[in-house]
Structure 1
Amino acid sequence: MPEPIDHLSEFERTAAEVAAVLDRVDPAAMVPNCPGWTLADLAMHLGSGQRWAASIVLSGISQKRPEVLRTTISWSDWYAGTTAALAAALRAVDPDEPCWNFAPVDQRAGFWSRRRMHETVIHLVDAVQAEAREATGLDVIPAEIAADGVDEVFGVFLPRMLARGAKPAVTRQVGVRAIDTGDEWTLTPVSEGDRPQVKRGKAAGEAVLSGTAAGLDLCLWKRLPADVLEVEGDHSVAAAFLAGKTTP
């Protein structure tokens, strides 16, 4: 049985990697998969999100996302400060303490350690792609972290996108398989507007997508093209699923 992921420690580790990129790369560098964003915009988005999450964790209730003005210190230092603030807030509150979140899962403070870790992971990939356009980012996500990220997409973001009015991404049964971790999922549509049924442990469906956990995670977040994955079964079903709004 694998050890459970320490989401808070992994958040801090990944955030330190983001800060290192911010320290060495021109903040005006463009972020390929976030159209119109510079690296400074990415830092502002991440840092304001960390302040927002910290205020939620400490209060236990929904909060307004703070407006961030251009910092007068370096982006890496400012971002590192927001990381420290969120980490301190998460350590000040028991993970099982009741706390608001936006997802159809338990309203507990521990949600935010996992959510902010995965937010940081995906934007670390954005940052390394901004640093080197040929970079895929596959090598910066540990396999077990990426598999947990895929699971978060299916448990948190598929229903979140439906609640925000997006068209269902799961309209036919689809299987997903992480070849390096052994994790598998089957997604089955239910009634229109309802979140799909997610079964873990077996990948089955009209199409089955296979790839490394990192490849799957980055494809779901539209950071890599779908051709990094293998498809068994109906390729049109797989393409429709990957083209759908699985994430914001």
Structure 2
Amino acid sequence: MPDLIDHLTEFERAAADFAAALERVDPAAEVPACPGWTVADLALHLGTGQRWAASILLSGTAQKEPDVLRTTISWADWYAGTTAALLAAIRAVDPDEPCWNFAPVDQRAGFWTRRRLHETAIHLVDLLQAGAAAGEEPGTGLAVVPPAVAADGVDEVFEVFLPRMLARGFAPAVTRQLGVRATDTGHEWTLTPVPQGDRPHVERGKAVGEAVLSGTAADLDLCLWKRLPTTALTVEGDPAVANDFLAGRATP
């Protein structure tokens, strides 16, 4: 799954869209998906993450996330600068070069291009929702996450974040076998719990289980990240199994 899209090209596109939206959206606007955050907080979070990832890529080792002061220049310009720094770091390091990451996957530099793509895509949705006109229902932002990127985002949740949340002490999100199907891209997954709280087994290419969740890849991705109501998805089989999974902590 990770090799089916060009993560660098898609990251550049998503980051450019985020910077452009920052030009339009009031920095003081509230972010519906991140209670207590303003657009300025969102920009600070994402730009700081760009700097952090760049430092990891260039050193190959774990780094402390920088303490960043609020910028005195425009948020769009500051964010664009952090993105340029990360892009330079990505291009300076071969994706197969050994490099630390926080996940139970290969410790390779290419992890960070994929991770920053999906971090940016989700927060671009947040930014567009924040920029919705006052008094109107916030937009979902679905159109800004291409189907192939969203399907890869779902795969990243299953590969990286289900075990990460377990490692952080959260109860397993997968307690019964569950199938997941992206209706627009054809991607399918089967999640099977394993004993002793280990990370669930992920089988790609089929969707079977006591329940099967289906929706477009973007629907699935945004529901997993709690950016879209779960009513956007269709459930076949036992709804309690699906509801328990969707109510769990699959992502931070």
What TM-score bracket applies, with the shorter chain setting the length? Answer: over 0.9
- How far did 1:4 drift? 2.7
- Give the match for residue 204 of structure 1: 208
- Give the match for residue 121 of structure 2: 121
Match of 2:222 among 215, 218, 222: 218
Aligned residue pairs, count: 248
| CA–CA distance in structure 2, aligned partners of residues 164 and 4 of structure 1 | 30
**Residue 10 of structure 2 corresponds to residue 10 of structure 1:** yes
- How far did 1:168 drift? 0.2
**Residue 190 of structure 2 corresponds to residue 186 of structure 1:** yes
- Give the match for residue 91 of structure 1: 91
Equivalent positions of 1:19-168 (< 5 A) are 19-132=19-132, 133-168=137-172
Moved more, 38-47 or 128-137: 128-137
Q: Describe the SS at the equivalent of 1:134.
A: coil
Match of 2:247 among 219, 243, 248: 243
Q: Describe the SS at the equivalent of 2:196.
A: coil
Letter in 1 for 2:42: L
| CA–CA distance in structure 2, aligned partners of residues 239 and 77 of structure 1 | 42
Cα deviations by residue, 1:191-210 (Å, 9 ceiling, x for unpaired)? 13200000000000000000
Tell me how large the CA RMSD over aligned residues is: 1.3
Letter in 2 for 1:75: W
| CA–CA distance in structure 2, aligned partners of residues 170 and 91 of structure 1 | 37
Cα deviations by residue, 1:92-146 (Å, 9 ceiling, x for unpaired)? 0000000000001000000000000000000000000001143011111100000
| CA–CA distance in structure 1, aligned partners of residues 62 and 8 of structure 2 | 21
After TM superposition, the score normalised by the length of structure 1 is 0.98
Q: Describe the SS at the equivalent of 1:176.
A: strand
| CA–CA distance in structure 2, aligned partners of residues 221 and 74 of structure 1 | 28
| CA–CA distance in structure 1, aligned partners of residues 151 and 183 of structure 2 | 10
Q: Describe the SS at the equivalent of 1:192.
A: helix
After TM superposition, the score normalised by the length of structure 2 is 0.97
Cα deviations by residue, 1:190-231 (Å, 9 ceiling, x for unpaired)? 013200000000000000000000000000000001000000
Identity of counterpart residues, as a percentage?
Answer: 77
| CA–CA distance in structure 2, aligned partners of residues 209 and 12 of structure 1 | 31
| CA–CA distance in structure 2, aligned partners of residues 112 and 54 of structure 1 | 9
The runs of at least 4 aligned residues of structure 1 exceeding 4 Å deviation read: none
Q: Describe the SS at the equivalent of 1:208.
A: strand
Match of 1:234 among 233, 238, 246: 238
| CA–CA distance in structure 1, aligned partners of residues 141 and 176 of structure 2 | 30
| CA–CA distance in structure 1, aligned partners of residues 105 and 139 of structure 2 | 34
Letter in 1 for 2:139: A
| CA–CA distance in structure 2, aligned partners of residues 192 and 219 of structure 1 | 27
Cα deviations by residue, 1:63-112 (Å, 9 ceiling, x for unpaired)? 00001111010000000000000000000000000000000100000000
Kept after mapping to 1: 8 A contact 2:130/2:138: no
Letter in 1 for 2:228: L
